[in-house]
Each structure stands twice: as C-alpha cells, then as structure tokens.
C-alpha cells in the first residue's frame, strides 16, 4: 500500500512540476524511468526508503531548459548534460 501511495505522490508531483518547473519535471521523469518505485520486495524497497536514499546519494546533474523554434513550431528542449539526454516536446 505504501508503494502505491509513493508512486501516486510522485505522479502528482510530476503534474505539478510540468506546469511550474519543466527542468525539474524532466529530471524526475527520467529518474523515475531509470529507477522505478518497486511494488514487491523487502520492506525498505517497497516503502520507498531505498528509492529515496538512492536519489539523495546520486551525483548532482546540470540540466537546462530551452525553447527553440523549428519552422512555425515552438519546441521545448531539455538537456541533461551528465547523461547527454535530449527530449523534445511540441
């Protein structure tokens, strides 16, 4: 149950960040894809303790958010310099 609540809270935070801070939104989105919150396992894993410890111990990353125009379309581009990860949204 606790893992489900933590996953729901992470998704709610993503919705909020998408509107208020696109750079942090992208970082958290990529992080959750790489290290999903498990639904089975030991109590530390399911409760989110391992997830939060891993996130707090991860190295700092530099992220940048740009708006670029491609033709008549304005495109959001996120660049995480540590992972060389480019994601575009229209």
Does the predicted model carry a pTM greater than 0.75?
A: no
Per-residue pLDDT of the chain (90 residues; tens, 9 = 90+): 677 788 888 899 999 988 888 888 888 888 889 888 888 888 878 777 888 888 888 887 776 666 666 676 555 555 544 444 444 443
Taking each continuous run of H as one helix and of E as one strand, the counts in the chain are 4, 3
Structure confidence at residue 50 (pLDDT): 85
Structure confidence at residue 15 (pLDDT): 92
Please report which helix (H) or strand (E) contains residue 44, including its range. helix 43-47
Please report which helix (H) or strand (E) contains residue 66, including its range. strand 63-70
Contact 65, 87 (CB under 8 A): no
């Amino acid at each position: 149950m606790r893992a489900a609540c933590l996953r729901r809270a992470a998704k709610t935070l993503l919705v909020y960040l998408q509107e208020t801070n696109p750079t942090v939104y992208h970082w958290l989105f990529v992080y959750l894809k790489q290290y999903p919150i498990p639904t089975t396992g030991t109590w530390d894993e399911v409760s989110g303790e391992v997830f939060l410890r891993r996130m707090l111990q991860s190295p700092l990353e530099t992220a940048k958010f740009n708006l670029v125009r491609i033709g008549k379309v304005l495109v959001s581009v996120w660049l995480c310099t540590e992972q060389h990860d480019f994601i575009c949204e229209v």
